[in-house]
Amino acid sequence: MSLLSSADSSAALESDSQSQRAWILTKHLLLFFVLMTLWEVGSRAGWIDPLLFPAPWGIVKQIGLMYYVNGNVYYHFYKTFIEAMAGLGLGVFIGVGLATAAALSLRFREYIKPYIIVIEATPRIAVGPLFIAWLGFGLSSKVALAALVCFFGPFVNTLTGLLNVDDEAEEMFRSMRSTKWQTFWGLRVPNSATILMAGMKLGVSSAFGGALVAEFISANEGMGVLMSRYTYVLNMNGAFATLLSITFFAFLLFKVADVIDYYLVFWRSDKLMQAKSKKRKDAFFKSLAAA
């Protein structure tokens, strides 16, 4: 259902004309600026306590300070980025590996089911202090927590994609006498590719969350540390600027996931589908000619 709806809505977006979209964008920006101005005015007039809710201009200045003047954010950003990405890689590896094993073997699927339910119900991020105790204060404990927190989305999505294939397509594969592996590669893997990226997106956000929480618990570098330091000295501008950086970066990663999704699931877009099938047709004829 959701796949269908996302396909429709992108079609609906494409049907908007260029000028219409520009106008919509302008209205959005206008509203945003009005809100920000109100906030700024409210803050200057003393209706909003700037100590708790910093004014937009202060945050902008702080971003300038952090990125251009001091440049202190890059180091912390780099640390958190490495932690989250290593955690994401590890988590996706574990999640997809487990899902593949569970999809291939009914028995394995049955035996891990109770453990999966328990893991799902546990607030996994709560293992943070334990990981710190086991793996120390450095990089590895953050990577481990990020991996633990983020593996679930890719796992469930891959498993769902691998198992919930179209009945009729499966019947066709069976009537063509395809082997188990042919069904797996030709039907199940492409089917799971359609929702793999959605799982990755969930993973991105939770990997960052895991890395940040591990840093909150104990670290001396990283965005989480920067943020808690800023709030402890009540430099709210700094805390907001840090938070916005994380949001912006996660947003970038979401966009990257969208692009990968577009090319990976090429059959969803007519243009890519045609290009791909033309290429395959040419290759097929070439192989015929060679033979």
Partner 1 sequence: MTSITSITTSTTSTTSTTSTEPAIGPAELADKGFKRLAMHVLIFVIIIGAWELAGVFNQLNDLLLPAPSKIIVKFIDLWFISQRIWWHFFVTMYEATAGFFIGVGIGMSLAISAVVSPVFRRYISPYAIAFNVTPGIAVTPLIIAWFGFGWSSKIAQATLVCFFAPFINTLTGLLYTDEDATELFRSMRANKKQYFWKLQFPSALPLIIAGFKIALTGALIGAVVAEFFSASEGIGILMQRTSFKLDIAGSIATLISMSLMGLLFFSLMEVLDYKVLYWKRDSRMQQISKKRKAAWNM
Asked if residue 9 binds partner 1 (CB under 8 A), the reply is yes
Asked if residue 234 binds partner 1 (CB under 8 A), the reply is yes
Asked if residue 63 binds partner 1 (CB under 8 A), the reply is no
Per the CB < 8 A criterion, the answer to whether 1 and 8 are in contact is no
Half-sphere exposure of 9 (CA within 13 A, CB side): 6
Question: Which residues within the stretch 69-128 sit at the binding site for partner 1 (CB under 8 A)?
Answer: 102, 106, 109-111, 113-114, 116-118, 120-128
* Angle (deg, nearest 10), helices 189-217 and 223-232: 40
Asked if residue 290 binds partner 1 (CB under 8 A), the reply is no
Least distance from C-beta 66 to partner 1, angstroms? 16
Asked if residue 291 binds partner 1 (CB under 8 A), the reply is no
Question: Which residues within the stretch 26-45 sit at the binding site for partner 1 (CB under 8 A)?
Answer: 28, 31
Give the closest residue to 40 by CA, choosing from 25, 28, 50, 30. Answer: 50
Least distance from C-beta 289 to partner 1, angstroms? 42
Cα(206)–Cα(39) distance, rounded to whole angstroms? 30
Least distance from C-beta 147 to partner 1, angstroms? 15
| Residue indicated by tokens 């989305």 | 153
* AA letter at 73: V
Per the CB < 8 A criterion, the answer to whether 101 and 108 are in contact is yes
* Residue whose CB is less far from partner 1, 90 or 226: 226
Cα(157)–Cα(145) distance, rounded to whole angstroms? 20
Per-residue contact flags (x/-) with partner 1 for residues 154 to 193, judged by CB under 8 A: -xxx-xx--xx-----------------------------
Least distance from C-beta 116 to partner 1, angstroms? 6
